[in-house]
Amino acid sequence: MKRQRKKFVSIRRRMMTIFAVLLTATGLGIAGLFVFVFRYGYASLSQVYLQDITRQTTNNLENNIQKIEDINLQILSSQVVQSQLRIVNSEILDTYNLSQCRQKIERELSTDALYASYVVSVSVISLEGIEFSVKKIETGGTQFGFTEDEIYQANGTSLWGLTGEKNRICVAKAVLDLDTMKPMGYINIVYENSYFADILEDNSTEYSAASYIVDSRGRINVTNNEKYLGTSFPMDMEALRISDKSRYDMLSSTQAFYYVGDKMPNGWTLVQTVSVEEFYKNLNHQILMAVIVVLTVLGISVLFVWIATSRIAKPTRELMDSMKTLGKENKYPRVHVVSQDEIGMIGTEYNKMAENIETLIEKVYKMELTQKQAELEFLQMQINPHFLYNALDTISWMALGKGNGEISEMSIALAELLRATIKNESFIPLQEEMTTVKDYLFIQEQRFGDKISVSYQVEERASRCQVPNFILQPLIENAIIHGLEPKIGNGSLSVKISIREKRLFFVIEDDGVGMTEEEIRKLYESCKAEDTKQSIGLKNVYRRLLLCYGEESRLNIQSKQNEGTKIYFSIPLQERKTDGKLQGEDVHGGVI
């Protein structure tokens, strides 16, 4: 069944379609937005605002509470207070000794506490009810909001409450013996109510909210509405709190919104209340502003989408046109990249791809020409080798017939050497390549006698590896002709073949006359040149390695004049050949 081709839809058309859908949905959403703002949105936003104000106010209150607790701790841990209370509680003192104790304790209290502007008075009361106190203002009468039993039962926890005068806060706390942790008496510190009321004024909201600080017994200790100071808060604090977290709700009895903050360390809770009338006073104005903002955003969105689709569609269309013509009539067009966005990145990568394709095609074309030229040169070297092979075989038999074994052996070696040259296989086992090398060296030994000594170091596993045919003989011939033959005296030649890091390494080294750096440079240039007639064998090996394996397997030459020359290279490890193609591990790695 023929597959139906999908209809082409441009990006711009898709984007405009999406925008039309979004615009319609936005229009419908505006109607819902009015309802939401009217019923929930405004209240929710105001809640967040009120929550932030309450949280900030609570933090400021807690900072002041901590300052008071620091004063308490400083007095409780005072060595003077501790030691003098032990004396007062342990024995009956006469008037003089009691006066001495009073003087020391009150001096300590004056030093520690009365420097704070918000402290009205500080009192320390022993177990027997003896009071030691310092006062900035005469408060008169008993102001404590807690009984001694309540203070001692708190076991070192501060109790906070109003004094009898209502406009002041008292904090009572048991004094524990630091050695035995048993009560020695208690302290009572009176603070100005304004110390906390000023914070409520500083953090007032735009809703003219009434703020209340309610203690754990439900009594209002601090407020910016003085007529409620000292009264009981009309709602149950714990019923308004969910898992000790802040909550927003509405009091139906008073038609007011309120916010209950987190419980503070001293048991206080901050409550913010706002009347419904005040809460919704600016609602109509807020709705109008919201409509204006929405319409403005929609207008800007229309303009933005129109510009954006134009900027996206134009380079996309240019890129598509270039891709359609890529490769046709040997054309590889580039696109002009003007933006630094995703489309620009695609255009940049497309230009790189087109350049790489063009470069690759040109490289492949040159490689094919080079390979054909190498094959032609190789064929030109084979001057009727079959005829020569048969002739050498005849000479060998004639030499044996006349009892000349050396001539027969040389003829056989030369015949085997010619047999290797006429093989059509591009790759052969290293073992066969070494046989060709040894046949060639056998012939050279007849020429040079004992002047040249040859050594071989070939790993056993390497013998099974596949190598290019006739890859070593030209290198060995080059070492003999240009290195050892001109040398005065005996010379040596070594052939080392090993396996390392999944590659096959070759080293051909002689101790001949060597070369200067300039001669090495010229030798490299002749190998790379296209039409040079110098170093034909070495050039042939150089080009074949590049064609077969790339730059990682190029020839490397090291030489010093009058010391010798070393030629080395490596190829990927290949241990078998299937259908004329090498099979094995081709692991990239550096040359020696």
| Segment 380-389 mean pLDDT | 50
C-alpha span between 82 and 75 (Å, rounded):
9
Segment holding 577, helix H or strand E: strand 574-578
Report residue 392 as tokens: 């050498």
Q: Say whether pLDDT at 38 is over 70.
A: no
- Average the pLDDT over each of 397-401, 552-556, 562-566 and give the range with the smallest value: 397-401
What is the predicted pLDDT for the residue at 516? 92
Measured between its terminal Cα atoms, the distance across the chain in Å is 59
Per-residue pLDDT tens digits for 107-122: 888 875 566 778 888 8
Kindly indicate the confidence band of residue 246, based on its pLDDT and cuts at 50, 70 and 90: very low
What is the predicted pLDDT for the residue at 586? 42
C-alpha span between 424 and 426 (Å, rounded):
6
C-alpha span between 132 and 105 (Å, rounded):
7
User: Which residues are 498's β-sheet partners?
Assistant: 505
Report residue 163 as tokens: 């004094």
CA angle 118, 121, 122 (to 5 degrees): 115
Secondary structure letter of residue 101 according to DSSP = H
What is the predicted pLDDT for the residue at 588? 33
- Average the pLDDT over each of 88-92, 218-222, 236-240, 354-358 and give the range with the smallest value: 236-240
Asked whether the beta carbons of 136 and 119 are under 8 A apart, the reply is yes
C-alpha span between 485 and 115 (Å, rounded):
109
Q: Say whether pLDDT at 128 is over 70.
A: yes
The residue ranking higher by pLDDT, 307 or 534, is 307
C-alpha span between 275 and 205 (Å, rounded):
13
What is the predicted pLDDT for the residue at 427? 87
What is the predicted pLDDT for the residue at 217? 81
Q: Could you write out the DSSP letters of every residue in 277-319?
A: HHHTTTHHHHHHHHHHHHHHHHHHHHHHHHHHHHHHHHHHHHH
Residue with tokens 């409780």: 76
C-alpha span between 40 and 287 (Å, rounded):
12
C-alpha span between 58 and 34 (Å, rounded):
34
- Taking Cα atoms as reference points, which of 559, 565, 569 lies closest to residue 589? 569
Asked whether the beta carbons of 157 and 216 are under 8 A apart, the reply is no
Report residue 192 as tokens: 């100005």
| Segment 578-591 mean pLDDT | 42
The distance of Cα 534 from the centroid of its chain, to the nearest Å, equals 56
pTM reported for the whole predicted model = 0.43
Sign of the alpha-carbon dihedral angle for 577, 578, 582, 584: negative
What mean pLDDT is reported for the chain?
Answer: 76
| Segment 536-549 mean pLDDT | 83
Question: Domains in the chain, start-ordered, CATH in brackets?
Answer: 77-195 (3.30.450.20), 424-584 (3.30.565.10)
